[in-house]
Amino acid sequence: MHIDFTGRTALVTGSTLGIGLATAEAFARAGARTVLNGRDEARLKSAADGIRARVPGADVVTVAADVSTAEGARALLEAVPEIDVLVNNTGIFASTPVLEIQDEEWRRFFEVNVLSGVRLARQYMPGMMERGFGRIVFVSSETAIDTPLDMVHYGMTKTALLAVASGLAKAAAGTGVTVNSVLPGPTHTEGIEEYITALIPEAETFDAAQREFIARFRPTSLIQRLIRPSEVADLIVFTSSDRASATTGAALKVEGGTLTSLTP
Ligand SMILES: NC(=O)c1ccc[n+]([C@@H]2O[C@H](COP(=O)([O-])OP(=O)(O)OC[C@H]3O[C@@H](n4cnc5c(N)ncnc54)[C@H](OP(=O)(O)O)[C@@H]3O)[C@@H](O)[C@H]2O)c1
């Protein structure tokens, strides 16, 4: 299958690291003009330089903006007024017992993980519908379906994204714009490496910690390993392509089989 984004612009929020960076790189490889976003200029520059080095000829633009704020959303719109693909990837996680999560923290998780993407969809979707083509992908999580005991606030935001994507897909009916959510499982990013290392301090190597993590905390994983960021990126890029024109309002799993339900 040939996937070509030549002539298209893809914005990936939170793309200085992890899944966002891998997704931005995959769009650049597929020929898109790719907009990287994060809050820090130095991290953005290093991410963009990395993609340019790995993908000769990559057309990469960087915009520093905090997407959890209305000002950040406006700054993105000013810098890049028209896009064809919006990947709402930015997300934070933390491990806290549910009864200890304070109001401010519930609000912060909602604003960073949910409202950020809602605002960007609101500002970019009308233009996509007018032009008759657009793709919006929300990066949710397996925790949307299976709420983790130590991250209920995080799980809440990821479940909310399924409803947001479904509702926006209905709002875009018949316009050529699709809206979907993608549900990764534990993916090998810097953040998850820290999380697993803290959870299993007795492991001698990260590889041993990773195997122990899967055995103890994700025993239903069918791939029995962490997911590679590029594996998530590939599903996002396909979902954003011309070829996925009949996939909308969907919740697409890329969680290595950890969710045992037949439907997401
Ligand atoms: N890793 C996993 O196992 C996993 C599993 C399921 C779902 N997910 C979801 O996948 C997405 C990416 O996760 P990840 O683990 O790849 O993340 P990550 O490695 O922690 O990277 C987060 C990215 O978001 C940026 N960021 C954070 N807050 C921001 C803000 N307010 N405005 C703009 N950028 C912001 C960070 O850049 P700066 O710090 O430079 O601003 C960074 O580029 C998240 O939505 C996460 O919930 C991850």
Q: How far apart are CA 105 and CA 124, in angstroms?
A: 28
Q: List the chain domain ranges.
A: 9-185+227-254, 188-226
- State in Å: Cα 219 to ligand 1 middle: 25
Q: How far apart are CA 84 and CA 68, in angstroms?
A: 21
From 37, 48, 22, select the one nearest 184 (Cα to Cα). 22
Q: What is the pLDDT of residue 262?
A: 86
Q: How far apart are CA 86 and CA 117, in angstroms?
A: 9
Q: pLDDT for 140-150, tens place per residue?
A: 999 999 999 99
Q: Which atom from ligand 1 is nearest to the alpha carbon of 39?
A: 41
Q: What is the pLDDT of residue 151?
A: 96
Q: Please indicate whether residue 62, judged by its CB atom, sits closer than 6 Å to ligand 1.
A: no
SS3 content of the chain, % helix, strand, coil (to 5): 50, 15, 35
- State in Å: Cα 130 to ligand 1 middle: 30
CB of 53 closer than 8 Å to CB of 65 = no
3-state secondary structure of 252: strand
Helix H or strand E encompassing 25: helix 18-29
Q: Give the single-character DSSP code of 135.
A: E
Helix H or strand E encompassing 63: strand 59-64
Low-confidence ranges of the chain (pLDDT < 50): none
Assign a CATH topology to domain 9-185+227-254: Rossmann fold (3.40.50)
* Residues catalogued as catalytic: 154
Q: Which atom from ligand 1 is nearest to the alpha carbon of 112?
A: 31
**The two three-digit tokens of residue 222, written as one number:** 């069918």
Q: What is the pLDDT of residue 264?
A: 78
Q: What is the pLDDT of residue 221?
A: 97
Q: Which atom from ligand 1 is nearest to the alpha carbon of 190?
A: 19
Q: How far apart are CA 261 and CA 257, in angstroms?
A: 9
Q: Please indicate whether residue 248, judged by its CB atom, sits closer than 6 Å to ligand 1.
A: no
Q: Give me the phi and psi of 29, to 5 degrees please.
A: -60, -35
Q: What is the pLDDT of residue 219?
A: 96
- State in Å: Cα 105 to ligand 1 middle: 17
Q: What is the pLDDT of residue 112?
A: 98
Q: Give the single-character DSSP code of 147.
A: -
Q: How far apart are CA 162 and CA 58, in angstroms?
A: 32
Q: pLDDT for 56-80, tens place per residue?
A: 999 999 999 999 999 999 999 999 9
Q: pLDDT for 37-55, tens place per residue?
A: 999 999 999 999 999 999 9
